[in-house]
Amino acid sequence: MRTKSKVLSVVSSVLLVCGLLPATTSHAAKKENPLDLDMLFIGAHPDDEAGGLSTYGQWIEDYGYKMGVMTITRGEGGGNAVGPEEGSSLGLLREKEERKAVDLAGIENVFNLDKVDFYYNVSAPLTEKVWEHDSTLEKVVRTIRMTKPEVLFTMNPSPTPGNHGHHQYAARMAVEAFYAAADPKMFPEQLNIEGLKPWEAKKIVYRGASGKGMNGEKCESSFVPDESTDKVYGVWSGRESEKYDKSWAQVEREAQRMYKSQGWATFQDAPSDPNELSCDYFTEFDSRVPTTSGKPQSNDLLEGALFKKANGLPLGVQLSMSSTYEVTSDQSIKVKATIKNNSNSLIKNASLNLGVPDGWKATKAQQVKLIKIGETKPFTFEVNVPHNPDLKRYEIKLDLKAGKKEGAVRKVLKAVPIVEGNLKPLPHVQQFKDWTKEHQVQQLENLITPVFSMGTGETKEIGINVTNHSKTEKTGEVALTLPAGFKAEESVMPYTFKSGETRTVHFKITNNNPMLPTSNDGGDYPFTVQTKTDGVVTSTKAAINLVPVTKINQAKQAPKIDGTEEAGEYPDGDIDLSRIWEGQPLDSSKDASGNAKLSWDSEGLNVLVNVQDDVLGTVLPKEDAKRHWRTDSVEIAIDPKGNSENTSSTFKVGVFPITKEGGPAAYRDADNFQGPVSETAPGMKVASKIDPSHYNGYTLEVKVPYTALPAPIDPEHMSTNVFIYDSDTQDKTGQTRLGWSTWGGVQGDPYRWGHGIMEGFTPDKSIPDRTQEPQIPQDVAKSLLSPQSILQSAHNHVPLASGIPAPKDSLKIVGKPLKKDGKVTFKGKASVKGCANFFVWDPVKQKVVEQKTGLRFANNETKAITFNLSEPTKRYVLLASYETKDYRVLSLAQPFLK
């Protein structure tokens, strides 16, 4: 288990609502009759589950399964297309949207873990620092142990380009919890004090797959994964719902439109022709249960976990195996197998056989005379890898047969060369590789193509990690085969490595054709890494991301920052901002396009942006000039040192050309220090030229003072980017994103921004380096203040935010309510010190009628809680949440008037 992460300048996300002091002990009471789920989705934000609702809904309707959805945050860091709410208020709004949406699919339980949604990023390491590994994992594990789901669903855990860091980390928590919840050594206090038991979910999958399939019902049988060893399940969204009398794809679209704050209300109708509808695809991480082979069916994913087929083994039989992942020529490995019989039947006279690829050899089938109910038996097989196998992934299959019943599980192995060379991964990719190895899901590594970025005309040193997988010392050479337009100073390098050793060989690469396309115009350039040992040559793939480069010269005269270019202010040429990197296609350059000019002077960097645009998006008031992607705006991004792993050590500002008050506005977002520039970038100047009455675009001029940057500028390595956000609507939703260095998710990837070479610039060394101290937003929506969460917790007994449950007598409503003079008074009695929140809830209108929050109680104290209600009604519900001094939580719900 990892130690808890430390974050500089970040307030802990577990602060109590009432400001109680931290406790030194942690005790909890047992909870009876915990919720028993069949399926559980684990994501990061409200709406992360939305793409799978057609699948979950049809299974719930067809088979009566129970499902829950866990969101680690409430999405406080997202945009808001429906109102001014932000932070915790937005989080509660998004929770309401999520509950309405998933209810259409028959999902009644939504669990929020109260971690902060701090902003879009593509960094799992940053997310881990903010969410705290052990704290988050403990909550996920507690939820699984309490609700006992058979199948876990989650997201893509890899740092594929553009994949939100929160999505990555939520998926990693799901995978870790799949194993940790079953391990009695993990969070033993949940077992010893809270009275829970280890729980083994039977399968875990992530929504998504890499490959191709047909539309229509054949999508379930026609899908071909790019990697043949991937286990992919397809569920057609075109089946009709009996309840709604329409396809599940149409129901899912109606559900998605309920996420109104995220601009989803404008989603187009799903196709009415079922033959135009495809599948939801799910890729398997791991399985503990045997399944049968045969023609693909829509419920195959659930086999062995929630139902058995006619020729399948009894439900409750578990089968698993483990082995090393990487194997080499002539190697002998041990494969450990386990049968666990949690069914209601004896397993008699069975055979266990390990199937291996052609040319491989394995121990013969082993006979299984008897496995009693509740018994677990281990088995071991030996597998011999052939001489010089094809260097690819292989599937081994463990098959259990008992009479006419059978089932199998699978595992993926990878044949690697004696000596292997791979491009040294980017730091966040290396962290992912380490994680897959730690949790034995190395098959996920193929989701990432190793890349490095460089600018046009630049020379860069790269590292090739060379590993000797053999048992003896090896000598050979590693070589690069580069695409046209790139050259290595030395294309071949010798090596001598000891057995098991990994070392890095360095090459200097030059882009000798600066006219090559960059970014998503064709800036991905594949190349190969070759190693030659004992006359055997092996190759691995990698790629170069080529980014644009510009010179940023000193202004001959300091710009006035008035929205107008004057002679000498910007001595360099334009950089083109008209490349689309996300969103809808454009009708023409008049629809949206632009260019920028940059310069520097003694005070800071100067940026002039000219934008062509045909429709002005929503004009926001200055107080709401934030979350710039909602309307027409420009984003300026600066990585002063040019080595940031994520945007927490960069400067990013969204600039609005006009506000309702008339002038421009600017707001830092998703960077080292977010907020209005008057607070977060003192001295920054913004000017604009725009005519709303004859609108055809706008000009922005910005000065970013050096003192506002998180570190002194490195003039030879500084990275920068400029983006245009185009909106043609009045509903606070953007349509198209354009920019200079453009890739999917590039706003979160500083390594793929363009390079600005500041010739003649001398950095100011007196500017402090604040890159290691990011300011992370901490306005978190708390379950203690969410009436819907309190009501749910009171009914299903899963503690608020999946925290430690408090004893039932921690807080009670005693006596009868007193109704007098338009007032209703209750008495609350606490057995232990804590903080209470009371709500009068209208379940029909789904809103709070009145509330009393932050009421402190001493030990054994009774307090009167009075509500001023002109028309109290019996349909109201009294809700209460309580947090004790040692962080235990309790929820209460009762009729307001009996």
Per-residue pLDDT tens for 91-129?
999 999 999 999 999 999 999 999 999 999 999 999 999
Q: Is the pLDDT score of 2 beyond 70?
A: no
Amino acid identity, position 760: G
CA-CA distance, 203 to 183, in Å (whole number)?
Answer: 16
| Per-residue pLDDT, 802 | 98
> Is residue 7 very low, low, confident or very high in pLDDT (cuts 50, 70, 90)?
very low
Is the domain of 515 the same as that of 558? no
pLDDT tens-digit readout, 467-479: 999 999 999 999 9
Find the helix or strand (DSSP H, E) in which 631 lies.
Answer: none
Q: 564 is written with which tokens?
A: 């107008």
CA-CA distance, 383 to 399, in Å (whole number)?
Answer: 15
**What CATH number does the domain containing 398 carry?**
2.60.40.10
Q: Is residue 12 part of a domain?
A: no
Is the domain of 427 the same as that of 404? no
Is the domain of 272 the same as that of 144? yes
| Per-residue pLDDT, 798 | 97
Q: Is residue 722 part of a domain?
A: yes
Q: Is residue 199 part of a domain?
A: yes
Block residue for tokens 């907020």:
675
Q: Is residue 6 part of a domain?
A: no
Block residue for tokens 């959805």:
69
Is the domain of 132 the same as that of 174? yes
Q: How far from 303 is each of 62, 105, 154, 298, 400, CA to CA, in Å?
A: 15, 21, 18, 10, 15
Residue after which a domain boundary falls, among 415, 439, 463:
415
| Per-residue pLDDT, 565 | 96
**What CATH number does the domain containing 790 carry?**
2.60.40.2550
- Distance from chain centroid for Cα 69: 15
Q: Is the pLDDT score of 433 beyond 80?
A: yes
Q: Is 184 exposed, middle or buried (0-12, 13-18, 19+ CB in 10 A)?
A: exposed
User: ∠ CA 410-411-412 to the nearest 5 degrees?
Assistant: 130
Non-local (6+) Cβ contacts of 845 within 8 A are none
Q: Which has the closest alpha carbon to 210: 279, 282, 143, 150?
A: 282
> Is residue 18 very low, low, confident or very high in pLDDT (cuts 50, 70, 90)?
low
What single string gives the DSSP state of each residue in 745-790?
A: TGGG-GGGSEEEE-TT----TTS---TT--B----PPPGGG-HHHH
CA-CA distance, 43 to 97, in Å (whole number)?
Answer: 15
CA-CA distance, 658 to 688, in Å (whole number)?
Answer: 8
Amino acid identity, position 762: T
CA-CA distance, 803 to 31, in Å (whole number)?
Answer: 13
CA-CA distance, 383 to 381, in Å (whole number)?
Answer: 7
What's the structural domain count of the chain?
A: 5
Is the domain of 411 the same as that of 483? no
Q: Is residue 22 part of a domain?
A: no
Is the domain of 751 the same as that of 721? yes
Return the SS3 of 168. helix
Q: Is the pLDDT score of 859 beyond 90?
A: yes
CA-CA distance, 531 to 479, in Å (whole number)?
Answer: 6
Q: 469 is written with which tokens?
A: 């997988």
| Per-residue pLDDT, 1 | 32
Q: Is residue 739 part of a domain?
A: yes
pLDDT tens-digit readout, 253-303: 999 999 999 999 999 999 999 999 999 999 999 999 999 998 889 999 999
CA-CA distance, 606 to 394, in Å (whole number)?
Answer: 55
Section 511-525 average pLDDT: 96
pLDDT tens-digit readout, 222-244: 999 999 999 999 999 999 999 99
More confident position, 623 or 16: 623
Is the domain of 457 the same as that of 559? no
Residue after which a domain boundary falls, among 483, 512, 538:
538
| Per-residue pLDDT, 873 | 80
Q: Is residue 263 part of a domain?
A: yes
Q: 57 is written with which tokens?
A: 């809904």
Q: Name the pTM for this structure.
A: 0.94
| Per-residue pLDDT, 16 | 41
Is the domain of 397 the same as that of 507? no
Is the domain of 223 the same as that of 330? no
Is the domain of 332 the same as that of 453? no
Sign of CA dihedral 178, 10, 752, 716: negative
| Per-residue pLDDT, 33 | 53
Block residue for tokens 């232990």:
832
Is the domain of 328 the same as that of 434? no
Half-sphere exposure of 648 (CA within 13 A, CB side): 24
The conformation of residue 8, written as its DSSP 8-state character, comes to T
Residue after which a domain boundary falls, among 478, 503, 538:
538
CA-CA distance, 443 to 205, in Å (whole number)?
Answer: 13
Non-local (6+) Cβ contacts of 398 within 8 A are 319, 321, 335, 337, 352, 353, 354, 355, 408, 409, 410, 411
**What CATH number does the domain containing 753 carry?**
2.60.40.1190
User: ∠ CA 415-420-425 to the nearest 5 degrees?
Assistant: 105
Q: Is residue 252 part of a domain?
A: yes
- Conformational region of residue 359, where left means phi above 0, alpha means psi within -120 to 50, and beta covers everything else: left
**What CATH number does the domain containing 187 carry?**
3.40.50.10320
Sign of CA dihedral 608, 611, 615, 618: negative
CA-CA distance, 605 to 716, in Å (whole number)?
Answer: 15
The conformation of residue 473, written as its DSSP 8-state character, comes to -
Domain hosting residue 534, numbered range: 423-538
Is the domain of 599 the same as that of 494? no
